[in-house]
Structure 1
Amino acid sequence: MASLNVSSVLLVLFLTCWAVMATKENDQIIKENNCESTMGLPCVLEAFTSIFNTGSISNKCCGELVVLGKVCHSALVKRTLENPLFKDLNPATIIAKSIQTWNNCLALIDSPSPST
Protein backbone atom coordinates (compact mmCIF):
# COMPACT_ATOMS: atom_id res chain seq x y z
CA MET A 1 0.00 0.00 0.00
CA ALA A 2 2.84 2.39 0.81
CA SER A 3 4.39 1.85 -2.62
CA LEU A 4 1.06 2.79 -4.23
CA ASN A 5 1.01 6.08 -2.31
CA VAL A 6 4.64 6.80 -3.21
CA SER A 7 3.89 6.05 -6.87
CA SER A 8 0.86 8.33 -6.78
CA VAL A 9 2.86 11.16 -5.23
CA LEU A 10 5.64 10.73 -7.79
CA LEU A 11 3.14 10.77 -10.65
CA VAL A 12 1.51 13.97 -9.37
CA LEU A 13 4.93 15.55 -8.88
CA PHE A 14 6.00 14.58 -12.39
CA LEU A 15 2.80 15.95 -13.96
CA THR A 16 3.08 19.18 -11.97
CA CYS A 17 6.70 19.68 -13.02
CA TRP A 18 5.81 18.93 -16.65
CA ALA A 19 3.00 21.51 -16.61
CA VAL A 20 5.28 24.16 -15.08
CA MET A 21 8.01 23.42 -17.64
CA ALA A 22 5.47 23.64 -20.50
CA THR A 23 4.29 27.01 -19.22
CA LYS A 24 7.85 28.31 -18.89
CA GLU A 25 8.70 26.98 -22.34
CA ASN A 26 5.74 28.74 -23.97
CA ASP A 27 6.45 31.95 -22.04
CA GLN A 28 10.09 31.82 -23.14
CA ILE A 29 9.12 31.28 -26.80
CA ILE A 30 6.66 34.18 -26.60
CA LYS A 31 9.22 36.48 -24.98
CA GLU A 32 12.13 35.53 -27.26
CA ASN A 33 10.05 36.02 -30.41
CA ASN A 34 8.34 39.21 -29.21
CA CYS A 35 5.02 37.51 -29.99
CA GLU A 36 2.75 39.73 -27.96
CA SER A 37 3.51 42.99 -29.74
CA THR A 38 3.12 41.83 -33.35
CA MET A 39 -0.67 41.76 -33.83
CA GLY A 40 -3.10 44.57 -33.17
CA LEU A 41 -5.75 44.00 -30.50
CA PRO A 42 -8.70 43.80 -32.94
CA CYS A 43 -6.94 41.02 -34.86
CA VAL A 44 -5.92 39.23 -31.67
CA LEU A 45 -9.60 39.19 -30.68
CA GLU A 46 -10.66 37.91 -34.12
CA ALA A 47 -8.08 35.13 -34.06
CA PHE A 48 -9.00 34.24 -30.48
CA THR A 49 -12.70 34.08 -31.34
CA SER A 50 -12.07 31.91 -34.40
CA ILE A 51 -10.04 29.44 -32.33
CA PHE A 52 -11.63 29.46 -28.86
CA ASN A 53 -15.20 30.20 -29.84
CA THR A 54 -17.18 30.41 -33.06
CA GLY A 55 -16.18 33.08 -35.50
CA SER A 56 -14.18 33.91 -38.52
CA ILE A 57 -11.02 35.86 -39.10
CA SER A 58 -10.79 38.64 -41.70
CA ASN A 59 -8.25 38.77 -44.51
CA LYS A 60 -6.49 41.67 -42.77
CA CYS A 61 -6.17 39.73 -39.54
CA CYS A 62 -5.08 36.61 -41.40
CA GLY A 63 -2.23 38.71 -42.77
CA GLU A 64 -1.26 39.81 -39.25
CA LEU A 65 -1.46 36.22 -38.01
CA VAL A 66 0.84 34.97 -40.76
CA VAL A 67 3.32 37.78 -40.03
CA LEU A 68 3.16 36.76 -36.35
CA GLY A 69 4.42 33.34 -37.41
CA LYS A 70 3.51 29.76 -36.64
CA VAL A 71 5.87 29.48 -33.65
CA CYS A 72 4.25 32.45 -31.91
CA HIS A 73 0.77 31.36 -32.91
CA SER A 74 1.26 27.89 -31.44
CA ALA A 75 2.91 29.14 -28.24
CA LEU A 76 0.17 31.70 -27.61
CA VAL A 77 -2.59 29.12 -28.12
CA LYS A 78 -0.84 26.63 -25.83
CA ARG A 79 -0.29 29.27 -23.15
CA THR A 80 -3.96 30.25 -23.34
CA LEU A 81 -4.95 26.61 -22.87
CA GLU A 82 -2.85 26.53 -19.69
CA ASN A 83 -4.98 29.30 -18.18
CA PRO A 84 -7.43 27.92 -15.58
CA LEU A 85 -10.22 29.97 -17.18
CA PHE A 86 -10.08 27.59 -20.15
CA LYS A 87 -9.81 24.33 -18.20
CA ASP A 88 -13.20 23.11 -19.45
CA LEU A 89 -12.16 23.33 -23.12
CA ASN A 90 -11.00 20.25 -24.96
CA PRO A 91 -7.32 20.91 -25.84
CA ALA A 92 -7.43 18.59 -28.87
CA THR A 93 -10.39 20.53 -30.30
CA ILE A 94 -8.69 23.88 -29.69
CA ILE A 95 -5.40 22.72 -31.22
CA ALA A 96 -7.31 21.43 -34.27
CA LYS A 97 -9.13 24.77 -34.64
CA SER A 98 -5.84 26.59 -34.19
CA ILE A 99 -4.22 24.56 -36.97
CA GLN A 100 -7.26 25.03 -39.20
CA THR A 101 -7.22 28.81 -38.65
CA TRP A 102 -3.48 28.93 -39.35
CA ASN A 103 -3.77 26.84 -42.53
CA ASN A 104 -6.76 28.85 -43.80
CA CYS A 105 -4.91 32.12 -43.23
CA LEU A 106 -1.73 30.81 -44.79
CA ALA A 107 -3.62 29.62 -47.89
CA LEU A 108 -5.44 32.96 -48.12
CA ILE A 109 -2.24 34.98 -47.87
CA ASP A 110 -0.31 32.69 -50.24
CA SER A 111 -3.01 32.66 -52.91
CA PRO A 112 -2.60 35.21 -55.69
CA SER A 113 -4.99 38.13 -55.70
CA PRO A 114 -7.49 38.22 -58.57
CA SER A 115 -6.66 40.74 -61.25
CA THR A 116 -8.87 43.80 -61.43
Structure 2
Amino acid sequence: MGVLNVYFILVVLFLSCGAVMAMKENDRIIKENNCETITGLPCVLEAFMSIFETRSISNKCCGELVVLGKVCHSALVKRTLENPLFKDLSTTTIIAKSIQTLNNYLALIDSPSLST
Protein backbone atom coordinates (compact mmCIF):
# COMPACT_ATOMS: atom_id res chain seq x y z
CA MET A 1 0.00 0.00 0.00
CA GLY A 2 2.87 2.38 0.80
CA VAL A 3 4.43 1.81 -2.63
CA LEU A 4 1.12 2.72 -4.28
CA ASN A 5 1.03 6.02 -2.36
CA VAL A 6 4.60 6.83 -3.42
CA TYR A 7 3.74 6.19 -7.09
CA PHE A 8 0.61 8.32 -6.78
CA ILE A 9 2.63 11.19 -5.29
CA LEU A 10 5.25 10.90 -8.04
CA VAL A 11 2.57 10.99 -10.75
CA VAL A 12 0.95 14.07 -9.19
CA LEU A 13 4.33 15.82 -8.94
CA PHE A 14 5.18 14.92 -12.53
CA LEU A 15 1.86 16.26 -13.83
CA SER A 16 2.16 19.42 -11.72
CA CYS A 17 5.67 20.10 -13.00
CA GLY A 18 4.45 19.65 -16.59
CA ALA A 19 1.68 22.21 -16.08
CA VAL A 20 4.07 24.70 -14.49
CA MET A 21 6.60 24.20 -17.32
CA ALA A 22 3.87 24.81 -19.93
CA MET A 23 2.91 28.04 -18.16
CA LYS A 24 6.54 29.14 -18.04
CA GLU A 25 6.97 28.27 -21.73
CA ASN A 26 4.07 30.54 -22.76
CA ASP A 27 5.44 33.34 -20.56
CA ARG A 28 8.90 32.87 -22.08
CA ILE A 29 7.52 33.07 -25.64
CA ILE A 30 5.52 36.19 -24.78
CA LYS A 31 8.51 37.88 -23.16
CA GLU A 32 11.04 36.94 -25.88
CA ASN A 33 8.77 38.18 -28.65
CA ASN A 34 7.56 41.31 -26.82
CA CYS A 35 4.03 40.10 -27.48
CA GLU A 36 2.43 42.36 -24.90
CA THR A 37 3.93 45.53 -26.36
CA ILE A 38 3.16 44.92 -30.05
CA THR A 39 -0.52 45.81 -29.95
CA GLY A 40 -2.72 47.95 -27.74
CA LEU A 41 -5.06 46.66 -25.07
CA PRO A 42 -8.26 47.68 -26.92
CA CYS A 43 -7.30 45.48 -29.88
CA VAL A 44 -6.30 42.59 -27.65
CA LEU A 45 -9.70 42.82 -25.96
CA GLU A 46 -11.45 42.89 -29.34
CA ALA A 47 -9.52 39.80 -30.41
CA PHE A 48 -10.36 37.89 -27.26
CA MET A 49 -14.02 38.88 -27.52
CA SER A 50 -14.02 37.55 -31.09
CA ILE A 51 -12.49 34.27 -29.91
CA PHE A 52 -14.30 33.73 -26.62
CA GLU A 53 -17.65 35.42 -27.33
CA THR A 54 -17.98 35.38 -31.15
CA ARG A 55 -17.91 39.13 -31.67
CA SER A 56 -16.57 41.00 -34.67
CA ILE A 57 -13.27 42.82 -34.84
CA SER A 58 -12.47 46.17 -36.45
CA ASN A 59 -10.20 46.47 -39.50
CA LYS A 60 -7.75 48.57 -37.46
CA CYS A 61 -7.38 45.90 -34.79
CA CYS A 62 -7.29 43.18 -37.41
CA GLY A 63 -4.20 44.85 -38.89
CA GLU A 64 -2.53 45.19 -35.49
CA LEU A 65 -3.17 41.57 -34.64
CA VAL A 66 -1.72 40.32 -37.91
CA VAL A 67 1.47 42.20 -36.99
CA LEU A 68 1.32 40.41 -33.62
CA GLY A 69 1.80 37.14 -35.49
CA LYS A 70 0.82 33.54 -34.93
CA VAL A 71 3.45 32.79 -32.26
CA CYS A 72 2.36 35.63 -29.99
CA HIS A 73 -1.32 35.07 -30.73
CA SER A 74 -1.10 31.39 -29.76
CA ALA A 75 0.99 32.01 -26.64
CA LEU A 76 -1.40 34.72 -25.40
CA VAL A 77 -4.45 32.50 -25.98
CA LYS A 78 -2.80 29.55 -24.22
CA ARG A 79 -1.75 31.73 -21.29
CA THR A 80 -5.31 33.03 -21.04
CA LEU A 81 -6.64 29.48 -20.93
CA GLU A 82 -4.34 28.79 -17.96
CA ASN A 83 -6.38 31.30 -15.95
CA PRO A 84 -8.78 29.55 -13.55
CA LEU A 85 -11.62 31.76 -14.86
CA PHE A 86 -11.51 29.78 -18.10
CA LYS A 87 -11.18 26.29 -16.58
CA ASP A 88 -14.62 25.20 -17.82
CA LEU A 89 -13.88 26.01 -21.47
CA SER A 90 -12.76 23.41 -23.98
CA THR A 91 -9.09 24.19 -24.59
CA THR A 92 -9.04 22.44 -27.96
CA THR A 93 -12.14 24.30 -29.14
CA ILE A 94 -10.77 27.69 -28.07
CA ILE A 95 -7.35 27.06 -29.65
CA ALA A 96 -9.00 25.93 -32.90
CA LYS A 97 -11.24 29.01 -32.83
CA SER A 98 -8.24 31.27 -32.18
CA ILE A 99 -6.43 29.83 -35.22
CA GLN A 100 -9.56 30.32 -37.31
CA THR A 101 -9.83 33.90 -36.04
CA LEU A 102 -6.19 34.63 -36.91
CA ASN A 103 -6.74 33.17 -40.39
CA ASN A 104 -9.79 35.44 -40.75
CA TYR A 105 -7.59 38.45 -39.82
CA LEU A 106 -5.07 37.44 -42.47
CA ALA A 107 -7.79 37.01 -45.10
CA LEU A 108 -9.32 40.37 -44.23
CA ILE A 109 -5.95 42.14 -44.47
CA ASP A 110 -5.26 40.48 -47.85
CA SER A 111 -8.69 41.43 -49.17
CA PRO A 112 -8.63 43.90 -52.10
CA SER A 113 -11.32 46.07 -50.49
CA LEU A 114 -8.89 47.07 -47.71
CA SER A 115 -5.96 47.80 -49.97
CA THR A 116 -7.83 50.32 -52.12
- With 54-63 and 27-36 compared, the bigger mean Cα shift is at 54-63
Identity %: 81
Deviations 1:31-71 (A, max 9, x none): 11110011112211110101122212122211111100110
Name the residue aligned to 1:24.
24
Offset of 1:78 from its aligned partner? Answer: 0.5
Matched, 1:64 2:78: no
CA distance in structure 2 between the partners assigned to 1:114 and 1:11 by the alignment? 53
Name the residue aligned to 2:37.
37
Name the residue aligned to 2:92.
92
Q: What amino acid is aligned across from residue 15 of structure 2 in structure 1?
A: L
Unaligned runs of 5+ in 2: none
CA distance in structure 2 between the partners assigned to 1:79 and 1:26 by the alignment? 6
Q: Is the 8 A contact 2:65 2:105 kept in 1?
A: yes
Matched, 1:83 2:83: yes
CA distance in structure 1 between the partners assigned to 2:105 and 2:97 by the alignment? 12
Q: What amino acid is aligned across from residue 95 of structure 1 in structure 2?
A: I
* Cα pair distance change 1:115/1:51, threshold 3 Å: closer
Question: Helix, strand or coil: the match of 1:56?
Answer: coil
Task: Give the RMSD, CA atoms, in angstroms.
Answer: 1.6
Aligned residue pairs: how many?
Answer: 116
Using the size of structure 2 for normalisation, the TM-score is: 0.91
CA distance in structure 2 between the partners assigned to 1:67 and 1:103 by the alignment? 13
Unaligned runs of 5+ in 1: none
Between Structure 1 and Structure 2, the one with more helix by share is: 2
